[in-house]
Structure 1
Amino acid sequence: MRIATEGDPDELRNLIRRARVVLWDFDGPICRLFARHSAEGVARDLVSWLEGRGLHGVLTGAERESLDPHVILRAVGHRYPGSDLAVELEERLTQEELRAAATALPTAYADPLIRTWTAVGARLAVASNNSPRVIRQYLTGRDLLPCFSPHVYGRTGDLQLLKPDPHCLNRALNAMGTAPSDALMIGDTPTDCLAAKEAGVPFLGYARSDPAVTSLRAAGAEVVLPSLEPLLELLRR
């Protein structure tokens, strides 16, 4: 296993050459959704909300301390599928994501990469655990929605289908009439990698830190980039 760099473009070139459809995770590869609106703070608020309803035992200690809103949402979705509790918790997280989208920061090189990939004929989709309302709001603000529309596949009301379940990837592939081997998934978390593996889609990891690289490696990612710049340079050539 190796980390692809600008000086080691072969793996990237092979991934790009095969990809007719590019599936993007949203928070991470496209933008830093919680750049100025702490995800950890949102997670704590969700935990406090659950505890305020007398649901102290809904989460395990590890889930409570994860400080990842999606870990909390997934846990409640698994234990109370289709319940009013799950619906209300999901809407609370959506509202927090909508607030975060107003101050989200674009990932370096993501905007020109998206536009360039579209210009050279690839079809793009978003396959994400974030709310589709949030994704569309952000992409509209960056004038990027036409590069993806109508293929935005965020979380649904069935919280058991959050990644690592490949549901959102399969929805994209089916809607676009694309075989998994003709697609490429760009993601920054182990759940992205596991979902891509389950769907049979080649995976490209994006990691801005050494711990993130380690996590992606452990999940099975074979190619990991610390920046999207090498992708953009290869496409421009």
Structure 2
Amino acid sequence: MTSETKRTGTDDELDGLRHLIEGARVVLWDFDGPVCRLFAGHSAERVANGLTSWLESRGLHGLLTETERESPDPHVVLRAVDRRHPGGDLAAELEERLTREELRAAASAMPTPYADPLIRTWTAVGSRPAVTTDHSPRAVREYLASRGLGACFAPHIYGRTQELDRLKPDPDCVNRALDALGAAPETSLMIGDAPSDLAAARAAGVPFLGYARNERKDELLRNAGATAVVHSLGTVLRLVRAGVGPEPSAR
């Protein structure tokens, strides 16, 4: 048994993983985490601080709570502004600023180990992939093109829109993908690395596979109720290469 298999869990958990893969005619990928580390070379905390500083430069220091101002997650800042000014120009401008930072980050993003060959292999054997993310679809397309993965997904990239209240855990991006692909939730699979991904998948009725690159991520996912979690996509890649996947008649 390899170290990756050990970290995946018991034999029962591996059987559960096989069952998830066998039923997955459509695979919905969260972007930042399962596909790449978007902010590996362009700090998310620096981006969040930049958004906060921009708000303060406009005399809006009091718009955020202290916790929101100190958050290293730029989406926390964006959500907070949209809650207080829903659908307004301020939130729209902040979202555009975040998109520009994500585009910059895409140029130095770090591929998640095994993600590229898994996407290509799973697609080659008949699965239909899509991206379902809270990040800008423009940044997703830039990254996928840089890795030669654009053709695997095109045109199925469902990211952040101007409806910022529809970010995960709302299942909006998941439902948009299912509708566009004509896919049944029960024959799909979502791969995500955060409790909000799990919540969105559950709300859409889609089975979920957690990806946890470290023990902290694993604990967060399992505490949220995830029952299938892998620490390496290499485990999934070996199963797909071994022929675990949708029945030929379903492709």
Query: Would you say same fold, with TM above 0.5?
Result: yes
Alignment of 1:202-217 (within 5 A): 202-217=207-222
What amino acid is aligned across from residue 200 of structure 1 in structure 2?
Answer: G
The alignment status of 1:41 with 2:41, answered yes or no, reads: no
Aligned residue among 145, 151, 157 for 1:152: 157
Comparing 135-144 and 62-71, the one that deviates more: 62-71
Moved over 6 A (4+): none
CA-to-partner distance for each residue in 1:210-235, whole Å, 9 max, x for gaps? Answer: 11111111221111111100000000
Distance 2:28 2:83 in 1: 26
Count the aligned residue pairs: 236
Match of 2:8 in 1: 4
What amino acid is aligned across from residue 17 of structure 1 in structure 2?
Answer: E
Match of 2:191 in 1: 186
Match of 1:102 in 2: 107
Answer whether contact 1:208 1:226 (CA < 8 A) is retained. yes
What amino acid is aligned across from residue 100 of structure 1 in structure 2?
Answer: A
Answer whether contact 1:4 1:11 (CA < 8 A) is retained. no
> How far does residue 60 in structure 1 lie from its aligned partner after superposition?
2.0
Match of 2:249 in 1: none
Aligned residue among 85, 89, 96 for 2:90: 85
TM-score between the two structures when normalised by the length of structure 1 = 0.96
The alignment status of 1:175 with 2:187, answered yes or no, reads: no
* RMSD after superposition: 1.5
What amino acid is aligned across from residue 141 of structure 1 in structure 2?
Answer: S
Aligned residue among 135, 141, 144 for 1:136: 141
What amino acid is aligned across from residue 191 of structure 1 in structure 2?
Answer: S
Match of 1:228 in 2: 233
What amino acid is aligned across from residue 227 of structure 1 in structure 2?
Answer: S
Aligned residue among 119, 130, 152 for 1:114: 119
For the residue of structure 2 that corresponds to 1:57, the secondary structure is helix
Aligned residue among 20, 26, 35 for 1:21: 26
TM-score between the two structures when normalised by the length of structure 2 = 0.91
What amino acid is aligned across from residue 22 of structure 1 in structure 2?
Answer: V
The alignment status of 1:30 with 2:27, answered yes or no, reads: no
Distance 2:206 2:240 in 1: 20
Distance 1:220 1:178 in 2: 24
* Gaps in structure 1 of 5+ consecutive residues: none
Comparing 27-36 and 69-78, the one that deviates more: 69-78
* Gaps in structure 2 of 5+ consecutive residues: 1-6, 243-251
> How far does residue 54 in structure 1 lie from its aligned partner after superposition?
1.4
> How far does residue 5 in structure 1 lie from its aligned partner after superposition?
4.0
Q: Over alpha carbons, which structure has the higher Rg? A: 2
CA-to-partner distance for each residue in 1:53-92, whole Å, 9 max, x for gaps? Answer: 1112222222222210111111212221111101100010
> How far does residue 208 in structure 1 lie from its aligned partner after superposition?
1.1
> How far does residue 152 in structure 1 lie from its aligned partner after superposition?
0.3
Distance 1:109 1:229 in 2: 6
> How far does residue 139 in structure 1 lie from its aligned partner after superposition?
0.4
